[in-house]
Structure 1
Amino acid sequence: MWLLIQDQILKMKWLNVLVERLLRLLGVNPATRIGGSIQFFIYDVFKITILLCVLIFLISLIQSFFPPERSRKILGNFHGLFANIIGALLGTVTPFCSCSSIPIFIGFTNAGLSLGVTFSFLISSPMVDLGSLVLLMSIFGLKIAVVYVVLGLVIAVVGGTIIEKMHMEDQIEDFIRNANSTVNIDTPDLTFKERLTYAKDQVVFTFKKVFPYILIGVAIGAFIHNWIPEAWVESILGRNNPFGVVLATIVGVPMYADIFGTIPIVEALLSKGALLGSILSFMMAVTTLSLPSLIMLKKAIKIKLFSLFIFICVVGIIVVGYLFNIFQNILI
């Protein structure tokens, strides 16, 4: 039953078969490079779009119970390591990309929450949201997806704890520290119909924002899958390059995309012989440390804290990548 769910619902193998049959009816041979690229592009665009809309709707429905004001109230009731854990867990039900997380992070900081909690939230929000769990299950299976999310949460909690212990409150920009923090944390209860409307609006808004990156990501994935020789990928991200994880992380940092745009690239690289940890490090770096989000974050914090945040994320991502590479044979 689980294999049926994974293959036909998450991976949508039925859709791939349908696309292949339609292409053959149109006189396109999927066995050729061009035909294979077309099949990969159509199949992945439709698969990721369907998953995108379903996931955003369901997660937005959950989000309607945890708006920023209510999240601030919840986080304000906890302290110490447990507060960082709650902050990281709350990050899993918030927006899909790092740029969307920055304004919420600033709001939490403005409301007087500890730096450890806010940074645990900031790290986990784009890295290990519920969407990443389902999407990774559709590519790699349940075991890898769960381990990825758990390790991502560990990075978030450890990173937040380190920042908390270093007492870097003076590294928050003055305009945020001096802002009025008397925030109304009471939120009106929504009816179920209003929550459904909110979830639907979030689907439309996010789809418009994300879909161009899906097209770009799938196009890159189709090119890698059908045109890049396996030997090239293996030499850069395979077992013969012990620095593949580091390289993948460095390449991923300046890029801007979310998990929906990176999944087809990761899928294609894996099929070409790239190691699991290397491509997951690439995905983590892209979703967590995108250049636009770093520019936004730099406006809110000073250089010392900014550099520490990047260092913690990069080191954590590299460690996770090497762990996945070491235990790849067990996980796959």
Structure 2
Amino acid sequence: MYDFIEREIIYLWYYLDILCRQIVPFYIIGTLIGSAISVFAKDRIHALLVKSKLKKFGFLGYIFAALLGFASPICMYGTIPLVVAFYQKGVRQDFLACFMVASVLLNPQLIAYSAALGPLVFSLRLVTCFLMALSAGILIRIFFKHSDFFVFTSFGIGHNHDTDPNLFMRYIKNVGRNIKATLPYFAAGILLAALFTIHVPQDAFAELFGKNNGFGVLLSATLGVPLYLCGGGTIPILITWLASGMSIGAAVAFMLSGPATKLTNITALKSILRVKHFIYYLAFVMLFSAIAGLLTDTILHLFSLKG
């Protein structure tokens, strides 16, 4: 019994050390960048959405709205009051949908964290999230051009914590809040990833979520709904899953469905959506995630055959 416990501790320490060396630098960089944008650039980013007159740019307006959504560092509970204000100032709901979906899927911190996944998966995350945000805006434009998709009523204005008159202290306090909000999930993700590596047989996992396994992609898209708690916390888990044989397409599906159906995000979104439109949103997320994952695996498989 003592030997078993000692062996478990040694293995756990070994994998924790590897994961921390691999991921912690990205966590630190992402936290510092996210806080800097929140303190020094957040208001300018949001002002751009109002002042840009997106409808004049046609399709390019969706691209601009998505990029601003990715750059926005605030959570969905903070984003929705802003979106209400944008709507009242004349921003069209299709552009707002594009902005919100982009904001749900990625933010500056998560972009920095995701670099730890490696160039290919990182690039695919950016591209598929971008396409999902564009698709949301375009679909709202097509099907709800003459009717309201959102119900912008009775959602209180979010509290602004960045009020310290000293800019440096405002930044330090923001970094502290970010660490307080994300570090428990990040640490839990590293611990779970290490335990997964020790105890879950790689062959069985690869068979379930492996390459050219359409069922694995569909299952991954579904698992993103209950398992996705925090973007930073899922990075070490995804790294471990990919190393254990998860297909890149299954990872893409999880990275799309997870944040889009994260409990706090969908709770906030439900406050501005009727029941029928909320169901439309969930169906869109699951369908897009599954298709994106299947296409990713298919394309990568074709390229590997050509190689």
TM-score class, shorter = 0.7 to 0.9
| Post-superposition CA distance 1:235-274 (Å, at most 9, x none) | 2211363211111111112345332111011001011111
| Post-superposition CA distance 1:170-197 (Å, at most 9, x none) | 34336369x9xxxxxxxxxxxxx96555
**Partner of residue 92, structure 1:** 70
CA contact (8 A) 1:171 1:304 kept: no
User: Scaled by the length of structure 1, what TM-score is found?
Assistant: 0.75
**Partner of residue 33, structure 2:** 55
**Partner of residue 155, structure 1:** 132
CA contact (8 A) 1:41 1:218 kept: yes
CA contact (8 A) 1:33 1:226 kept: yes
**Partner of residue 224, structure 2:** 252
**Partner of residue 161, structure 2:** none
CA contact (8 A) 1:276 1:324 kept: yes
CA contact (8 A) 1:225 1:271 kept: no
Q: Closer, same or farther in 2 for the Cα pair 1:197/1:170, shift >3 Å?
A: same
Q: Closer, same or farther in 2 for the Cα pair 1:231/1:98, shift >3 Å?
A: farther
1:264 pairs with one of 230, 236, 242? 236
What does residue range 193-232 of structure 1 map to in structure 2 within 5 Å? 196-232=168-204
Report the alpha carbon displacement of residue 232 of structure 1 after superposing the two structures with TM.
Answer: 2.2
Q: Closer, same or farther in 2 for the Cα pair 1:63/1:227, shift >3 Å?
A: farther
**Partner of residue 25, structure 1:** none
**Partner of residue 113, structure 2:** 135
What does residue range 1-332 of structure 1 map to in structure 2 within 5 Å? 33-40=11-18, 42-43=20-21, 46-60=24-38, 63-64=41-42, 66=44, 68=46, 70-79=47-56, 80-95=58-73, 97-141=75-119, 143-167=120-144, 169-173=147-151, 175=153, 196-239=168-211, 241-328=213-300
Helix, strand or coil at the partner of 2:91: coil
CA contact (8 A) 1:275 1:325 kept: yes
User: Scaled by the length of structure 2, what TM-score is found?
Assistant: 0.80
- Residues in 1 aligned to 2:131 and 2:228: alpha-carbon distance in whole angstroms: 24
CA contact (8 A) 1:277 1:320 kept: yes
- Residues in 2 aligned to 1:95 and 1:61: alpha-carbon distance in whole angstroms: 9
Q: What amino acid sits opposite 2:258 in the alignment?
A: V
- Residues in 1 aligned to 2:299 and 2:166: alpha-carbon distance in whole angstroms: 45
> Could you list the runs of 5+ residues in structure 1 that have no partner in the other structure?
1-27, 180-192
- Residues in 2 aligned to 1:73 and 1:237: alpha-carbon distance in whole angstroms: 43
| Post-superposition CA distance 1:38-70 (Å, at most 9, x none) | 4246546743542333332343356345253x1
CA contact (8 A) 2:193 2:237 kept: yes
Report the alpha carbon displacement of residue 223 of structure 1 after superposing the two structures with TM.
Answer: 1.4
RMSD: 3.2
Report the alpha carbon displacement of residue 319 of structure 1 after superposing the two structures with TM.
Answer: 2.1
Q: What amino acid sits opposite 1:300 in the alignment?
A: I
Helix, strand or coil at the partner of 2:242: helix
Q: Closer, same or farther in 2 for the Cα pair 1:96/1:288, shift >3 Å?
A: farther
